[in-house]
Each structure stands twice: as C-alpha cells, then as structure tokens.
A and B are shown apart, each in its own frame.
Chain A
Amino acid sequence: MPAEKPESRLEKTVELPIGPYHPAYKEPEMFKLYVDGEEIVDAKIRIGYQHRGIEYLAQRMTIQQIVFLVERICGICSTSHPICFCQAVEDAMNLEVPDRARYIRVLIGELERIHSHLLWAGVALHLIGYDTLFMYFWRYREPVCELLEELTGNRQHYAMICPGGVRRDIDLKKMKPKILRVLDEIKEPIAKVGEAVAKDKLVKARMVGVGVLTKQDALKYCTVGPTARGSGLKIDVRVDEPYAAYKEVGVDIKVLSEGDVMAKTLVRVLEVLESIEIIKRCLDAMPNGPIKAEFKEYPVAEGVGKYEAPRGEDIHYVRLQGTTVPYRLKVRAPTYANLPSLVPQLIGESIADAPIIIGSIDPCFSCTERVSVVDVKEGRTLTLTMSEFNEFGRKRKNPLKVK
C-alpha cells in the first residue's frame, strides 16, 4: 500500500538515483528513490534512455524490413516482437498462417521463453549477491542458446519470422532428438535449483515478503505476465486469446498468490518447466506442409497482434496504407504495463531491496521505450527535433481514426 508522505519526512530524505547507468542493470533507466535512512518513501520512474525512434523508423521501412527492426527492439524477447508484429500484419491482411509455421512459431517462442527466464533468474540472484547461482542458471542457459543457434543460425535475433509464416524450415528428423536431449539436460537441474531457491534460508530472507504486489494493485495497475501471475491473476494471452498453435498444444498457466519477489521467481521457474512440456507436445504434433503463406496485395487496413512474451502481454498495432510501407506502427511492450506497478511495490521497502524488486518485474527497458510519433498532416515528412518531440508528448494527440 502506498505510504503517505508527509512533507517533513520528504525534507529529511536523500535522493538516491538508481540509474540511469547503474551496474545492476544492463540497461539504462532512471529510478529516483526518495530514501529516509534505508527506507524508501517515494519512487519516481523516468524512462526514455533507451529511446531509439523505432516507430519513426518503421514508417520508413517495408513490412519485411520492419520484421528485422522490431526484432531488435529487445535482444532477450527477440522473437516475441517479430511474431507479434507479423500477427498484426496477418490480422490486417486476413492472412492465414499455415499449420506447420504456427507450430514452428510455438517452438521458437517457447525456447526463447526458457532462455529468457533462465537469464532473468540468474540476474535476479546476482542482484541479491548470490553469484554462484547466477553462474548456475546461465550455465544451463548455454545449451538452449546453442540449440537455438543450430535451429535458426544465431544465438539471439533468430530472423525466423516473416509475415505469413516462418522464413526457414526445421529438419525435425535431425533436430528433434537434439532438442529433446537438451531439454532433458536442463530439466532436472532447473527443477532442483528452483526447489533449493525456494527453501534456502538466506534467499528467503531476501525474497519472501519483499516487494509485495497485492492482487488489487496488480489489477489496478494492469500488470501483465509473470508479474501478474505471481500476484494471483490468472492471465495469459496464450490461453485467453490463443494464437499460433497454442490452442492445439495447450498451456497450463502457473499462478501463485503471494505477490512477493519469491512468488514471481517461482512462477518463472515453473514456466520454464511448463515450456519444456509444451515444446515436447509441439514436436510430437508438428504437421508437415508449407511454412509460409504468400500474399500479393497490401490492403488499406489495420491489425492488432497480441503475444505472450516472457515478460507479459505484448501488443502491436499496424496500420497499412496500401503500399509496402505501413502508415503507423505502435508497440505496447509488457514492461511498459508493469513499470507503474513498481511504485506500490517499492514504497516502504528498504533501499537494499530496491534492485531485486525492480528486477522482479523482469524489466526490459529496450522493449519499453516507446513514444508516439504521429503524422498530423498526412504526406508531411517530419524531422522532429527534441523540443518538437516533447511537444507531441505534452499535447497527446488522438490516434488516427480508420477511414
């Protein structure tokens, strides 16, 4: 519950900046924490350090090029954005993706979820100073990265997706035993260490009861992903609005109700184990067939794609204008929805817990840095200066209506 901040208390407080370039996080962000001794009395979050002008660039690229652009929104959820974007395009074009392509998307997406959660688990434990387990988790992440390299050609940034399907096929006869072997290799150690983390006395001292996000707050702040599922909300785009092959493959949503950092950690560990099962089911059920649906026309239409990224619900909105270059792309990444919920989680906690609380929502600031760039007068090319750009944010123009 957010604490009252009497003015006199704020006067005594020290402003401790975490960021923008803090060794704890690999990405820049700015949290202004008002601390009284070791206790946080207020928190202000300022983002914008990762801003790269992606939506602006998207208005100058063809749809196929945009797939590579959005892939580089974030390195960790590197296939979430392309799949989501392609789903938006396919929604706009009313394009039906062939079955095999849908299953391959599930396969790559779930492998990415495993590697992202293991990465996060390592980083989270590093944040509380437990470097040995950080090394442990990353050690078991390596086989997954190498597997992805064998499947797709790159450890991250797989470049597998295109509008209408996937770009490359997977030779199941060769790869299936390899995939199963890697999955078996990591399943036991992850389950074991997940239990150890849940039971270790000192880890519990740092994680249990820390950074609690109550169910009401989670609903109020519209949190998504494991952050919400750790607070008792049973939401998951793969089940609520199934896409790709999830309706056939099925997902067992993991929910915990405590809402503290430990709950969020355990939700992610359980999701890794669930992803392993999903991949196995997906491999068993994968049909043969084409991997890409061709399209000839670029209609004037708009489409929305939703995807359950490792961090939560990712939404892409695209508005096509009849040419290869879209009129507008809008991305709402999951961390953007989860960031405001940090304020109730941080207030009242100790400054020492701030990194792990912030880390517990699995913040991906690369995904988050979106600011709208809207062409008000059509046909006019805007070269925005910093001040013009800020002006736009202040005026809050309405989104364009569909003609």
Chain B
Amino acid sequence: MTGLVTWARLKSPWLFHFNSASCNNCDIELVDAITPRFDVERFGILVEGSPRHADILVVTGFVNRQAAPRLRRIYEQMSNPKIVIALGSCATSGGIFANSYNAAGPVDRVIPVDVYIPGCPPRPQAIIDGVVKALMKLQSLGGGKK
C-alpha cells in the first residue's frame, strides 16, 4: 500500500507558486516550463490555483517584509505531505537584494526549504531538474514531512 502511495506522490506533484518580491524572471521561467517547449504536464506536474490543492510550494523572490507573514500562512495552509522549493538566487540567498532594508528572507529564514534552485533566472531545464530532485527527496523521506 505504501508503495502505491509513494508512486502516486511521485507521479502527481502539484505546484503552488508564490512570488515574494521577485523580479518576475524566475516566475516566467516557471511558467515557461508548462509551455509546449518543455511541457511538464508530461510528468504530471500541474500548477494549481489554491495552496490547499498543492504538494509543492515554489517560492521565488527574496521575501520582503510584506511577504514574510503571508508566506508563512500559505505554507501552513498547505496540507501534508508538502515540499518547499526555493527558486532562483534571490530565494536561495537574497541575491542582489540581500542587503536591502526590506529583506525578511531569504526563504529558509521564513519556512523550511527542501530544494534550492539557484540561477538568475534558472533555466526551465534547471527547474525541472530541481523538481525531480524534490520528488526524489520525497521518495527517500518515505512520503514527505510529518
């Protein structure tokens, strides 16, 4: 039974995308991944509208002070098991905005992060690679957090 469930989780990762003060490039590359050239629906990846429907939270941006409490709330709204991916250099480390007065991030200062995908912006191939690594982590954790 657990084997079936783990298989299902690997084959059907639904993403929710959260933009916490990003310049938009990482978001565009993420959207690019669902377009015909890369087509991640082949892997069962769907970008969902409600955080409650998603398994993977993809965060872009360096998390400014307005975004931080909201990011935490979105994270808590998602149902378990869930995984967090920090997409882009800003989400990973703050990037070029790390010294801003408005920085409350990067992402791992606000919520726990499972996978970091650096790049400014990371190419869609890198994003797919990162999501696959996240899924592998899900598998090795025996089904994700909690």
The reply to whether A and B meet directly (CB within 8 Å) is yes
Chain A positions within 8 Å of B, measured between CB atoms, are 20-21, 23, 26-28, 48-54, 56-57, 60, 68-69, 72-76, 78, 119, 122, 135, 138-139, 142, 145, 155-157, 364, 366, 369, 383-386, 389
Are B18 and A21 in contact, with the CB atoms below 8 A?
A: yes
Are B101 and A75 in contact, with the CB atoms below 8 A?
A: no
What chain B residues lie within 8 Å of A366 (beta carbons)? 22-24
Chain B positions within 8 Å of A, measured between CB atoms, are 17-29, 31-32, 35-37, 47-50, 62, 64-67, 70, 74, 95-97, 99-103, 120-121, 123
Task: Choose one: B21, B49, B96, B103; the contact of A69 (CB below 8 Å).
Answer: B96
What chain A residues lie within 8 Å of B102 (beta carbons)? 51-53
> Distance (Å) between the CB of A132 and the closest chain B CB?
11
Are B101 and A138 in contact, with the CB atoms below 8 A?
A: no
What chain B residues lie within 8 Å of A139 (beta carbons)? 35-37
Are A52 and B120 in contact, with the CB atoms below 8 A?
A: no
In chain A, what residue has the closest Cβ to B120?
Answer: A157
Report the separation of the CA atoms of residues A122 and B28 in the bound assembly, to the nearest whole angstrom: 12
> Distance (Å) between the CB of A310 and the closest chain B CB?
13
Report the separation of the CA atoms of residues A68 and B89 in the bound assembly, to the nearest whole angstrom: 14
What chain B residues lie within 8 Å of A75 (beta carbons)? 22-28, 121
The majority secondary structure among interface residues of chain A is loop
Q: 16 new A-B pairs (CB below 8 Å) besides A50-B22, A75-B28, A138-B35?
A: A20-B66, A21-B19, A21-B74, A23-B49, A28-B19, A48-B66, A53-B102, A72-B25, A75-B24, A119-B28, A135-B35, A138-B31, A142-B37, A156-B121, A366-B24, A386-B65
In chain B, what residue has the closest Cβ to A115?
Answer: B28
> Distance (Å) between the CB of A66 and the closest chain B CB?
10
In chain B, what residue has the closest Cβ to A149?
Answer: B123
> Distance (Å) between the CB of A177 and the closest chain B CB?
22
Asked whether A27 and B35 contact (CB < 8 A) given A72-B96, A364-B24, the answer is: no
Q: List 11 A-B contacts (CB under 8 A).
A: A27-B24, A28-B66, A28-B67, A50-B22, A75-B23, A75-B121, A135-B35, A138-B31, A156-B121, A157-B25, A157-B120
Report the separation of the CA atoms of residues A284 and B88 in the bound assembly, to the nearest whole angstrom: 38
Report the separation of the CA atoms of residues A156 and B49 in the bound assembly, to the nearest whole angstrom: 26
Are B28 and A56 in contact, with the CB atoms below 8 A?
A: no
Are B21 and A50 in contact, with the CB atoms below 8 A?
A: yes
Are A157 and B100 in contact, with the CB atoms below 8 A?
A: no
Asked whether A138 and B100 contact (CB < 8 A) given A23-B49, A27-B24, A52-B62, the answer is: no
